[in-house]
Amino acid sequence: MTKIYNFSAGPAVLPRAVLERAQSEMIDWHGSGMSVMEMSHRGKEFTGILNKTETDLRTLLNIPQNYKVLFLQGGAIAENAAIPMNLLGSGEADYVVTGAWSKRSVEDASAYGKINVVASSAAENFTHVPAFDCWNLNPNAAYLHICTNETINGVEFDGLPDAGNVPIVADMSSHILSRPIDVNQYGVIYGGAQKNIGPAGLCIVIVREDLLDRALPITPAVFNWKTQSENQSMINTPPTYSIYIAGLVFEWLLSLGGVEAIEKINIKKAGLLYDYIDSTDFYFNKVAVKNRSRMNIPFFLKDESLNDAFLKGAEAQGLLQLKGHRMVGGMRASIYNAMPIEGVEALIHYMQQFEKAH
């Protein structure tokens, strides 16, 4: 059988070792006689899983004690609405638009108050992050929202602006745990799990404690960070199986040496692919070099009439889900933590073959 490499942007590839572990524990978790799916979320088995999952995430990201970790449902899109409900009060918020997802965040937040777009790369088709000194920041903003890795456009931040005392709220859905971060630089970090963490259905929110007292009275309890943090993310049933798998992924990352170790591998994987794309004029990538994402790599064939043949040939070699997002076109290879370097090598090998043949 052809070896399959799945380049989907999300839901996406998971580590083989994690899937095998989940398979072995599927029917009888640790001698409990139950599958994790069948357990009460308030029982001692699942409470243990949740606590270990949180502890391991805290270790991986070096999360300080004054930050709460929430395991919520509704995905990053639900949090786009929860953010203004929890933080905006009667004030205004700054948003920076660097791609399709941050643009969506502005749309989702605008229902709850005054949202100011203080920088945007829309005019350049989202191919870079606007220089920080051109951001029109409001020192009295309730918060500053950014998306640090634009999954669709393949644009990743290469640093953070100085926002003074304004808390930075970052959508990290598609690159959380791909590189070390300093959590202290953020007020809130959030991300859907189905890109770089685990199955869909789980959204992780990391929020600084002092930001928990600002929710609008209309905030539903399930999206109220304070209520959720006081109830260990169990104001209702949390996505238990997704949390369990996320926990296995965290253990896998720790066994590899943590985020510092996976970053080295990610730099190598992305470097191989970008170097090859840059070495030929058969393919190209439009993103400014310093903002090229290590996780999501859009690329184009110079001759777009070959797109269908490229995808068909790729599929025949087990290289799946390479079609670019409809908003961008071309191709996109998502190479998250769980994509082995062999997958990137197989893709490059195929791209070389295809170039020779055409």
Ligand X SMILES: *Cc1c(COP(=O)(O)O)cnc(C)c1O
> Using only C-alpha atoms, what is the Rg of the chain?
21
Contacting ligand X (CB under 6 A), which of 174, 219, 266, 293?
174
Q: Does 29 bind ligand X (CB under 6 A)?
A: no
Tell me the window of 26-34, 54-62, 75-83, 154-162 that interacts with ligand X (CB under 6 A): 75-83
Alpha helices in 40-173 (DSSP H): 44-61, 75-87, 100-109
* Residue 24, H or E segment: helix 16-25
d(CA 295, CA 4): 19
Q: Is 195 a catalytic residue?
A: yes
Strand order in the sheet with 168-171: 67-72, 203-208, 188-192, 168-171, 144-147, 92-97, 114-120
Q: Which is nearer to ligand X, 69 or 351 (CB)?
A: 69
Rank residues 179 and 195 by Cβ distance to ligand X and give the closer one.
Answer: 195
**Strand pairing report for 319-320 and 331-334:** unpaired
- Is 171 among the catalytic positions? yes
Question: Shortest Cβ distance from residue 104 to ligand X (Å)?
Answer: 7
| 101 included as an active-site residue | yes
Q: Are 338 and 14 in contact (CB under 8 A)?
A: yes
Q: Scan residues 91-150 and list those touching ligand X (CB under 6 A).
A: 101, 147
Query: Which one of the spans 30-38, 69-77, 133-141, 273-281 is the region binding ligand X (CB under 6 A)?
Result: 69-77
Among the listed residues 6, 53, 120, 173, the single contact to ligand X using CB under 6 A: 173
77 makes contact with ligand X (CB under 6 A): yes
Q: Which of 29, 68, 101, 286 is catalytic?
A: 101
Tally of CA atoms within 13 A in the half-sphere of 152 that contains its CB? 16
Report 184-213 residues binding ligand X (CB under 6 A).
192, 195
Alpha carbon distance 105, 102 (integer Å): 5
Total residues interacting with ligand X, rule: CB under 6 A: 12
Among 70, 171, 206, 274, binds ligand X (CB under 6 A): 171
Residue among 29, 56, 171, 226 flagged as catalytic: 171
The CA distances from residue 217 to 86, 87, 213, 230, 273, in Å, are 9, 11, 11, 17, 49
Cβ proximity to ligand X: between 26 and 111 the closer is 111
Binding piece for ligand X, criterion CB under 6 A, among 57-65, 126-134, 153-161, 167-175? 167-175
- Smaller CB separation from ligand X, 18 or 83: 83
Q: What are the phi and psi torsion angles at 327 (to 5°)?
A: -75, -25
157 forms part of the interface with ligand X (CB under 6 A): no
Q: Kindly give, in sequence order, each residue whose CB lies less than 8 Å from that of residue 43, ignoring residues fewer than 6 positions away.
A: none
H or E element at residue 329:
none
Q: Between 94 and 171, whose beta carbon lies closer to ligand X? A: 171
For ligand X, which is the closer residue by CB, 127 or 174? 174
Cite the beta strand spans of the chain per DSSP E. 5-6, 67-72, 92-97, 114-120, 144-147, 149-150, 155-156, 168-171, 188-192, 203-208, 283-284, 296-301, 319-320, 331-334
Closest distance between ligand X and the C-beta of residue 264, in Å? 23
What residue is closest to ligand X based on CB?
A: 75
Interaction site with ligand X (CB under 6 A):
10, 75-77, 101, 147, 151, 171, 173-174, 192, 195
Catalytic residues: 101, 171, 195
